[in-house]
Structure 1
Amino acid sequence: MLNNIKTKVVCMALLGLSLSACEDKLNIEPRGSISPEAVTPSDTEVLLNGVYDGFQGGASSYHYLSFLTDDLSADNLAYRATFFQHGEVDDNSISANNLLTQYFWQGLYKGIYRANFFLQTVDKLDESTFSRPARKDEVMAEARYLRAYGYYSLVTRWGGVPILREPTTEKVARNSEQEVWDFIIEDLKFAVENAGDFRDASYVSKSAAKALLARVYLATKNYAEAEKLAEEVIANEKFRLSDDYDNIFTNKSNAERIFHLNSTANDGTSMPYFLIANVELPSTGKNTNGGRFELPIDNSLAAAFEDGDKRKATTLQPIVFGGVDYFMAYKYRLSADGSNAWTVSRLAEMYLISAEARAEQNNLIGALERLNDVREKRGLLPTVAVTQDGLRLKIEQERRVELAVEGHRWYDLIRTGRAIEVLPNVTSENQLKYPIPQAEITVNELLTQNPGY
């Protein structure tokens, strides 16, 4: 599977740089690298930066796909330009030879490899030699959260995938989808128990672990636990719904952010580069710092906002590009160089998870309360629903406009059984999973292809 990863040394540079610098130079220990046997507790913070970097984008130059394919597979983003592989994702007709989804798969497993290497190395260290004994479990918890996040990205696109608990280049067969979910829950439970308290959205905390675990429980229909964890995060005084929706995406310290993958221009995340055009915005009269604008907003998302919903201006902007009218994704406009932070979890999602979990437990009054908490904060009138099905649709709609281009819509429609009904290009259950990359099957005969490919 990870046939090109044969690292024999810990090669995460002192600023948390990529493993790729040493992957092909097995006989040379790069300057600034550390052999596993020489790692001390004082090294672990630097090494942990390398694990974060793997999921921010350092493990793959095409890691932006892990952020954008969800909205592109659904009806929030569209395909405009030159990469036909983007078009396959948009059309829900992905080839097993699609290079971009292949890089997406490989990038996630490289990040998981880093997490496993870190966990294996740090597990051998004596906790009493850390700055404080609890710090060992805290850094282990951060790495296990990131590993769980990687597997969440995999299972929601491909279904059952190989579970790797340690760094290995051995050929491994696929686990069942349920086994992957169980593994994610195992890692996140450890993170909930052992991660540190919230200090900054750029670092994994107990609250970040609770937030992702609440999402996982919602996906696996454990509604009582999803509600419980979401409510615990809501009750944390360090977080609050923002009075200014735009500020959530222009201010990395906004109190609505629970955890984000923070990036600099050097990380090469590239995600905004494919969203932003270099044009003058009619709304501001100023030029954006744009990229190649491969992926405009789908017109159906633009039409989904209610009149007067201020979130629309933050989510998208009408532009003219090449003489054609488009809507441009605008949440990640700080720069096309990749320095935006990708929000993994924020507080509004916790309100909507609680609303949905309550609705599924037939607590319609409680569900409406949490749904309307979000709407009222966004300047909208409260909504009403008299049936469970009606409330489900209202929550689905609110999730779409509140969390647009944040990596939720595709799997939201799958887990609620609505993808075939809502998405015109999806006519078969087989399309609800991506094909296992053919390049991976070629080098690992234990891998089986998803049905329909």
Structure 2
Amino acid sequence: MNKVTTTIQQALLAMGIIIAAHGCKVDIDPTDRYTETAIWSNSANMELYINGMYSEFKTFQFGVFPIGYDNATDALSDIEKYTSTVAGNGTVNILATDASRVNSAGPQLNYWQTGYSRIRRLNEFLDGLAKYAKVDEATKKQYEAEARFIRGYVYFWLVKLHGSVILMDNIGQYLTKEHQRASEEDCWKFIAADFAYAAENLPEQQDANRTGRATKGAAYGMLARTWLYAASIAEYDKKQFNQDALTGVNAANAPAYYRNAADAAKAVIDLAAKGYYDLESDYASIFTNKNTKEAIFKLDYVSPQVTHSLDLGFAPPGDAPGQCLVYGVPTAELVNEYEMNDGTKFSWSNAAMAANPYSNRESRFYASILYNGASWKGRTLNTTPGNVTEGFAEYAVTGEPRKTVTGYYIRKMLNPAVNDFVANKSTQSWIEMRYAEILLIAAEARAKLNDIAGAQLALNTLRNKRGLPNTPASTAAALMTAIEHERKVELSFEGHRYWDLRRWRKAHIVLNNVRFTGHRITPTDDGFKYEVVNCDNMNRQFTPALYYIPIPVSELQNNAALTQIKGW
């Protein structure tokens, strides 16, 4: 691991606190500089410090991943297609079609140094808190809980990528640069311990002046997510894809970990029963209503100080002709997944459905997808090839088409009431965790525990709120199929699909040797013709080795004890 030079002093300097360099320890605190004692005896300093640590969640806002450039990881999956072929906007397409681009020498899918820099700063905070803080025990525990909540999140990403990583939980460990990876199972347990401590010591609701900070529900939610991932690896991996001694999770522990996930999800459901969370009747409003009760943990934005560029990046070109970037668009594989409004599966083989494919679909379809004929911001979208502004463009004909290459645009999370996003950017909240995800975790964990009734209850609670009938699934296997579908639709464009396929160990099947599609829609005398066209110009590649991303070679060079994950 690289020596991380960011220190507690630098962190506080960034927040406007001037700290002189430390000299030798003396009996009398110097009067011309801040000492550690002085720093931690000031509660305002601690507030500034821990509040600044929450910026780490912006690294993954709106489902992006910093792969040398912010690209949506959903575009590595079957539900979204990025339109560009050029490195930068199109880096995600390069990675999706060339597995060799992911290697220990390159920056792709690399969060190692950034993640460990944040971990060090959090550990410095925890060290100072324990040694010097002049606050009561309850306040101290809450600060520790927040720091461990953030640390758990950082490690969650590192372990999702690499499986086996270095565990650092105290400042003393930084006295040496030589550290070997811990086992993947111990890593998941470490993350779970951080979230469990946070859940025990965080309040059910933060004070108004702490809006956006972690709560008990957020910690339990992250704990449920963590155990679900650990259980999935235990069940599905079974050392089939990597023979490294430190990767993988003992298959015998899968039931216990699914039980842990179910229990943590139930803790959030219990908080919902107390009025803290709920599902929204209007699915589209979830993502533009800053007060939505579906949000368990979210990042808020306030213009003009703190904004983002979601609308500029994904709105259809007619919203701001010549300026919209149209980074990514939905695939036909996702569009076809949305059910009819009566719960019937959509099929192009059904003549009536094929004649009017965008009629009578479920409510989430209309809240998530902009299609030919959709009403949007006072106009009717025309995605036929003849429309020069926002009509279909064949992928790879131009490097940056800034138009749909599938016949569709993303509707979900865009703000339908805003037209000045080019100048003023966007302020929709990024919801890191929603109550809907908790119900889906509960459904999956209970299905795996053969609690059919419990799984059905969680799944049907969500489906009914979305205007759909109960699932007909009545076996664990059928429920799992239904849950996979539900996660694909409900959580689309929220950054889950690629990681779901990886934890289920299906990515090498779904994302390999295949080209995803869109629809070229052309007018006819009696309606429209819908032609299936590839939106990939070469086959996707996902090799089994990609279930464990290699550690950057620079880290191995700086840490003699660190070994590369086997197979890389």
- Common fold: TM-score over 0.5: yes
What is the match of residue 52 of structure 1? Answer: 54
State the partner residue of 2:277: 239
Counterpart mapping for 1:127-142 below 5 A? 129-130=134-135, 132-142=136-146
Q: Does 1:313 align with 2:348?
A: no
CA-CA distance at 1:359 after TM superposition? 0.8
Q: After the TM superposition, which of the residue ranges 340-349 and 350-359 deviates more from structure 2?
A: 340-349
User: What are the equivalent positions in structure 2 for 1:289-368 lying under 5 Å apart?
Assistant: 292-307=325-340, 308-318=361-371, 320=390, 322=402, 324-326=404-406, 327-334=408-415, 337=425, 339-368=427-456
Give how far 1:173 is off. Answer: 2.5
Secondary structure at 2:298 match in 1: strand
Cα distance in structure 1, aligned partners of 2:297 and 2:427:
16
Match of 2:290 in 1: 252
Q: Relative to 1, partners in 2 of residues 1:343 and 1:360: Cα closer, same or farther, differing over 3 Å?
A: same
How much does 1:263 deviate?
Answer: 4.5
Task: Name the CA distance, whole Å, in 1 between partners of 2:369 and 2:34.
Answer: 45
Equivalent position to 2:151, from 147, 150, 159: 147
Which residue number in structure 1 is paired with residue 122 of structure 2?
Answer: 115
Task: Quote how far apart the aligned CAs of 1:377 are.
Answer: 0.6
| Residue 323 to residue 392, structure 1, CA distance change in 2 (3 Å) | closer
The aligned counterpart of 2:238 is none
* Cα pair distance change 1:413/1:140, threshold 3 Å: same
Q: Secondary structure at the match of 2:9?
A: coil
Of the structure 1 ranges 70-79 and 151-160, higher mean CA displacement relative to structure 2 is found in 70-79
Q: Which residue is 1:429 aligned to?
A: 544
Indicate conservation of the 8 Å contact 1:419/1:426, yes or no: no
- Aligned pairs for 1:27-426 (under 5 A) are 36-39=36-39, 40-57=42-59, 70-81=73-84, 82=86, 83=88, 85-91=91-97, 93=99, 94-96=101-103, 97-102=105-110, 104-126=111-133, 129-130=134-135, 132-166=136-170, 168=174, 170-199=177-206, 202-221=212-231, 222-236=257-271, 237-263=275-301, 272=310, 275-277=313-315, 279-280=317-318, 286-287=319-320, 292-307=325-340, 308-318=361-371, 320=390, 322=402, 324-326=404-406, 327-334=408-415, 337=425, 339-424=427-512, 425=540
How big is the shift at 1:255?
0.5
Change (3 A) 1:133 1:450: closer
Q: Identity percentage over the alignment?
A: 29
The alignment partner of 1:233 has SS state of: helix
Could you tell me whether the CA contact under 8 Å between 1:276 and 1:292 is conserved in 2?
yes
Q: Which residue of 1 aligns with 2:374?
A: none
| Residue in structure 1 matched with residue 387 of structure 2 by the alignment | none
Assess if the C-alpha contact under 8 Å between 2:8 and 2:125 holds in 1. no
- DSSP 3-state at the match of 1:172: coil
Change (3 A) 1:113 1:408: same
TM-superposed deviation, 1:407 = 2.3
Partner SS state of residue 99, structure 1: coil
Give the superposition deviation at 1:371: 0.7
Q: Please list the CA deviations of residues 68-88 of structure 1 after superposition, one character each: whole Å capped at 9, or x if unmatched.
A: 654233223333322253224
Q: Does the 8 A contact of 2:115 with 2:158 survive in 1?
A: yes
Q: Amino acid of the residue matched to residue 152 of structure 1?
A: F
Secondary structure class of the residue paired with 1:78: strand
CA distance in 2, matches of 1:441, 1:432: 20
Asked if the contact 1:120/1:166 (under 8 Å) is kept, the reply is yes
**Deviation at 1:323?**
5.6
Contact 1:9 1:35 survives alignment (8 Å): no
Structure of higher CA gyration radius = 2
Gaps of at least 5 residues in structure 2 are 23-32, 232-256, 341-360, 372-382, 384-389, 391-400, 416-420, 513-539
Specify whether residues 100 and 12 from structure 1 end up closer, same or farther in structure 2 by C-alpha distance, changes over 3 A only: farther
| 1:117-154 residue CA offsets vs partner (Å, 9 max, x unmatched) | 2212222234xx43x54111111101101100111111
Secondary structure of 1:379's aligned partner: coil
- Shift, 1:444, TM fit: 3.4
**3-state secondary structure, aligned to 2:223:** helix
Report the secondary structure of 2:370's partner residue: strand
Task: Return 328-337 or 412-421, whichever deviates more.
Answer: 328-337
Summarize the Cα distance change of 1:217–1:189 in structure 2 as closer, same or farther, 3 Å threshold. Answer: same
CA RMSD of aligned residues (A): 3.5
Q: Which moved more, 1:291-300 or 1:212-221?
A: 291-300
Indicate how the Cα distance of structure 1 residues 351 and 261 shifts in structure 2: closer, same or farther if over 3 A, else same: same
Aligned residue pairs total: 432
SS in 1 for 2:328: coil
Deviations 1:99-124 (A, max 9, x none): 3533x333322322222222122222
Deviations 1:400-437 (A, max 9, x none): 11111222222222322322332234554212222322
Partners of 1:435 and 1:450 within 8 A in 2:
yes
1:13-24 superposed matches below 5 A: none
Cα distance in 2 between the residues matched to 1:289 and 1:268: 25
Distance 1:262 1:439, change over 3 A: farther
Q: What is the CA–CA distance in structure 2 between the aligned matches of 1:315 and 1:86, rounded to whole Å?
A: 21
Equivalent residue letter for 1:55: F
Structure 1 residue 381, shift from structure 2 partner: 2.1
Amino acid aligned to 1:329? I
Q: Residue 326 of structure 2 contacts residue 402 of structure 2 at CA under 8 Å; is this kept in 1?
A: no
C-alpha deviation, 1:46, in angstroms: 1.1
What one-letter code is carried by the residue in structure 2 that aligns with 1:345? Answer: M
1:171/1:446 contact within 8 Å kept: yes
Q: Report which of the two has the higher share of helix.
A: 1
Report if the CA contact (8 A) 1:276-1:329 is conserved. Answer: yes
Structure 1 CA distance for aligned equivalents of residues 280 and 258 of structure 2? 26
Q: What is the CA-CA distance between 1:268 and the residue it aligns to?
A: 8.2
- Whether the 8 Å CA contact 1:262–1:341 is kept in 2: the answer is yes
